[in-house]
Structure 1
Amino acid sequence: MTRAARFPFREAPGIALRSGERAVVSPVNAHDHGYGIRPLDFGGLDDALEVWIPSLRLRPRTDPYLEALVAFSRLAMTGIGATMHCHNSLNVDRLAGEAKAVIRAAADVGIRLGLSCPLLDHDPWAYGGGPERLRRFLGEADWAALSPSIPDYAPVVRQIEAVEQVAAENAGPMVDVQFGPIGPQWCSDALLEAIAEASALSGRRIHMHLLESPRQRAWLDRRFPQGVVRHLDGIGFLSPRLAVAHGVQLREDELELLAERGVQVVSNPSANLRLRSGVAPLPLMARNGPEFAIGLDGTGFGDDQDLWSELRLAYLLHGGRELCRSFTAERLFDAAIHTGAKVLNMPAAADFAVIDYAALTADSLFEDIDGAEVILTRMRAAHATGLFVGGKEVMRDGRLRNVDFAAARRELLEQARADLPRLQQERPRVRALAEATRRYYAGW
């Protein structure tokens, strides 16, 4: 197999390359949450997924446009021109306005955007019964302070209508609005069935978390004795319009069914390790399907939103122990580029990153070292020197063409710090909720 086939170095029309630069097809960040202020910065230390989730209550209240602008700018400065943004708002009445702000931020940076609009109405805080399950693990004062924040979800019809409103108001070639059920453990049967029906009628894609942690596997096996994947198939949820993120706990028979239905899986290796969820069965997917893509999930191995390093981690993590590698560079780049584009409902191989290939090979004694191996061994975000999306220059030498990243980041931090008095009050409650969550699941 030739190097050109294994790695997408391209003659990119209209892109002037300097000596030592190469144009490559930009991989797609196929699952993310658009953290302008990243979780570690508001106290979200890595932990088991369910124990970590309460830390999101400490996310500062900031302008959604500015939050998205900073998050998307970070990606563009690494040479990534397309991302799936799973929006985090739980207020259906604010969704249309926030979505418009997020879409405007992507347009201002100049990247492609898949927008997964959140949908949920079941079992907040704890699987198998919701907040009441945690009450006995909380003191009276903590329960009294926390219980007023138990979500009051909008009716199923209203939630579906809100997504359709966002789609109707924001149509365009650079954005794809999708249904975003957070995960089957947080969705009622009625909501899952309504999403399946609405997707079939409109052709709108669905982007959903699925079987991320061992606790989710345990609970969903109890809720759906036939298996959650087979339940979803029975209600018409599985189709080529569906992408599921994580899939760490998927079994081989479930992978086969997803492959038969044309579903895509988005793997997030760093996030799965950092939140102690495990390692997804990507080698099985590479051999037998379903198609898979790669996403950062708002983190990355070094908390730096570096998709190039994420690809390296996936390559090494799934290399196996045999004499010959079966999880190949070709398969990984196909996942990151072509399947990633499918997840976003965007054209594949349409955007280009410019990389400083001379820096990557400065000490090489041979000129024919496989380019794919060079990228997967050494490429980091800092080696991206340019980005072209839809033929337009978005970034050159670490500077965005249309956005002052430093100024946007300063303003976002000022807004976040202005919210510190509220966060200081909330922080002990978050710790209490996290520890109650840990104690609840410890008995499983």
Structure 2
Amino acid sequence: MTEAPPVADCIIEAGTVLTGRYPDGSMGMRHDVGIRVEKGMIAQIGPLEAVGYGNDHLPRFGSRRMIAMPGLVNAHHHFGVTPLMQGVPFAPLELWLPQFRAMRRIDQRLDTLYSAIEMLESGTTTVQHIHSGFSGQPEGWMQVADATLSAYGEVGMRVGYCFMIRDRNILSYAPDAEILSQLPDEVRDWIAPQLAQAAIPVPELMNFYHALRARFLPNAPDHVRMNLAPANLHWCSDEALQTIFATAKATGGHIHMHLLETERQAEFARRTYGHSAVRHLQALECLDANVTLGHGNWMSGEDLDIIAACGCSICHNASSGLRLGSGIAPVNAMRRRGIPVALGIDQSNIADDRDMLLEMKLVWALHRETGLWNDRPDAGAVLQMASEHGADSVGFGGFTGRLEPGWQADIVLMDQDRIARPAINPRTPPVEALLHRGSRQAIEQVFVGGRLVVDAGRVITIDRDAVMAEIEAILTRPETAQEQQAWRAVEGLLPHLEASLHQLGLGAGYRSYRYNAQSDI
């Protein structure tokens, strides 16, 4: 069972502290200060002499060469070893996800630690882990959850844990029985048992959610949140959605729901319900301040107005939208309406890893637009998306995401000299220098609740090299006969999924990729 990682008392020195973005858009900063940490929380920020007075017994970290920023938050994450590493090429989402069924199974602890290492070493201290979904018996579900959450506790990260829930249309936008009836016998015989094992009644999954809360929250209340993740509108019936959202509201949990990731999903909603996916969720009374909608690439102006009025958040997954050809979320239109935008790396970023600093650069550049005076996110706004807004989305709002007294000491120290390479004019705002010139190579130390988890740029809470060696051994062993059969089955499945998309009229035609040609946002 996951236990809370130890907290620490210490003093952390920095030449510049980026405390967080203020409502007026300015970035809060302190210079040449010490941060005193008590029981994992920031107790004091001030001149080093004052912070250190009477505290000679506390360990000290950092120096005036360091820039301190809040720990970053990956608000949308699935699993560790990437599909590309497993031989799955990039494709549109609907033809990419089915290929995951042929990927080699990786030990859950190792897989979780792999991506956790990448996240921590690039400054991410909190993650929304969205498990891809359960099958089989509840004992197996708990083993997976325990291995995942224990790994995050072992490495020292905060985590919001949830699992994707589907009760229809698993293979495509048509009923599974219809797809299965069109498959060759050998492909149908291979995949039908998998679908049957994953066909778990939603009330049973809600019971499991309650069991997760009872098992994990009491032991690590500062490090774990339990959330719910209805997979997407075309994967969830109305009854399932209402059950899931009611459960979250009753328990105080957060919802993270994939929505309008691709143009096909938007068209499915229009055909099925006669209006948009967002309008449908509103009609079901599913939208509230505890809800984050992942992706949102195909939202209209009307959709965004509804979301703003309901107090929902959006998780923007920029690399994912570009690499899968899913689209570009209208982030500037979201920000104009006051919708909080968090950042997620989804399966992996533009470099096929979990480097949030790189993702932040992409987000900044992607939403510049072409006007002379249009409102566009500056470096401070992007940092807020990747920290405070992400923490709110995962369920750690008001707890972490800023560097101020009373907040958790989730702190990233970056070496100003490595950012400068070799010098930066003092007129350059530190947050701009950090975003545009900073990289994971500039990260010196990372703290979670005052506990040192990264030192000299490397995770120190586990044997990272042993983890990497174990994963390498798993990925490089020869394919088994069962694995070869899985690849053959997937290769036989894809043409039938393509045919289904054509038959539904969802495989032909598309709108402009440039901000999805939304003229009303």
Task: Please indicate, yes or no, whether the TM-score normalized by the shorter chain is above 0.5.
Answer: yes
Q: Percent identity?
A: 25
1:263 is matched with which residue? 312
> Could you say if the C-alpha distance between residues 8 and 272 of structure 1 is closer, same or farther in structure 2, counting changes exceeding 3 Å?
farther
- Whole-Å separation in 2 of the counterparts to 1:398 and 1:426: 39
Larger CA deviation: 227-236 vs 352-361: 227-236
What SS does structure 2 have at the residue aligned with 1:16?
Answer: strand
Matched, 1:441 2:441: no
**Cα gap change, 1:388 to 1:115, in 2 (>3 Å):** same
Amino acid at match of 1:103: L
1:333 aligns with 2:383: yes
SS of residue paired to 1:433: helix
**Residue 81 of structure 1 aligns to a residue in which SS?**
strand
Task: Provide the C-alpha distance between the structure 2 equivalents of 1:429 and 1:377, rounded to a whole number of angstroms.
Answer: 45
> Contact conserved, 2:123 with 2:357, CA < 8 A, in 1?
no
Distance in 1 of aligned mates of 2:429 and 2:170:
49
Aligned-pair CA distance for 1:231: 2.1
Displacement, 1:95? 2.0
- Unmatched tracts of structure 1, length 5 or more: none
Render the CA deviation track for 1:136-180: whole Å, top value 9, x for unaligned. Answer: 3x4444334333333441122101111111111000210001111
1:13 aligned onto 2:36:
yes
The answer as to whether partners of 1:125 and 1:131 remain within 8 angstroms in 2 is no
CA distance in 1 between partners of 2:492 and 2:376 (Å): 43
Does residue 191 of the first structure (1) align with residue 240 of the second (2)?
A: yes
Secondary structure in 1 matching 2:314: strand
Distance 1:95 1:252 in 2: 40
Moved more, 421-430 or 164-173: 421-430
Alignment match, 2:5: none
Q: How far off is 1:419 after superposition?
A: 7.9
Q: Distance in 2 between matches of 1:325 and 1:44?
A: 39
- Counterpart of 2:188 in structure 1 is 143
Shift of 1:27: 1.9
Which residue matches 1:401? 460
Give yes or no for the alignment of 1:100 onto 2:149.
Answer: no
| Distance across 2 between alignment mates of 1:7 and 1:436 | 52
Runs of 5+ unmatched residues, structure 2: 1-16, 38-59, 403-407, 506-521
Q: How does 1:287-436 map to 2 (within 5 A)?
A: 287-324=336-373, 326-329=375-378, 330-346=380-396, 347=399, 348-349=401-402, 350=408, 351-364=410-423, 366-417=425-476, 420-421=479-480, 422-436=482-496
Instruction: For residues 203-256 of structure 1, give each alpha carbon's deviation from its aligned partner in whole angstroms, at most 9, with x where no partner exists.
Output: 211111111011111112222223322221222211111111101111111111
Mapped to 1, the partners of 2:363 and 2:275 lie a distance apart of: 31
SS of the counterpart of 2:61? coil
1 or 2, which has the higher strand percentage? 2
In the other structure, the counterpart of 2:271 is: 222
TM-score w.r.t. length of structure 2? 0.80
Contact between 1:78 and 1:306, CA under 8 Å: does it hold in 2?
A: yes
CA contact (8 A) 2:164 2:231 kept: yes
Q: 3-state DSSP class of the match of 1:239? A: coil
Equivalenced residues, count: 441
- Report the alpha carbon displacement of residue 413 of structure 1 after superposing the two structures with TM: 3.4
- Structure 2 distance, partners of 1:76, 1:433, is 38
- Offset of residue 60 of structure 1: 2.0
Q: 1: CA distance between counterparts of 2:176 and 2:450? A: 48
Alignment partner, residue 511 of structure 2 = none
Aligned counterpart in structure 2 of residue 285 of structure 1, from 334, 353, 357? 334
Q: 1:151 to 1:186 in 2, by over 3 A?
A: farther
Match of 2:169 in 1: 123
Q: Distance in 1 between matches of 2:319 and 2:475?
A: 26
Taking structure 1 as the reference length, the TM-score comes to 0.93
Q: CA deviation at 1:385?
A: 1.6
Give the counterpart letter for 2:119 in structure 1.
L
1: CA distance between counterparts of 2:143 and 2:413?
35
1:111 equivalent in structure 2 = 157
The one of 276, 287, 291 equivalent to 1:242 is 291
Structure 1 distance, partners of 2:273, 2:430, is 46
Structure 1 contact 309–379 (Cα < 8 Å) conserved? no
Q: Deviations over 1:261-313 (max 9, x none)?
A: 11111000001111110100101011113211001002111012111111111
Alignment partners' CA distance in 1, 2:127 and 2:106:
21
Contact 1:22/1:357 (CA < 8 Å) preserved in 2? yes
More helix by percentage: 1
Q: In structure 2, what is the Cα distance between the partners aligned to 1:399 and 1:305?
A: 15
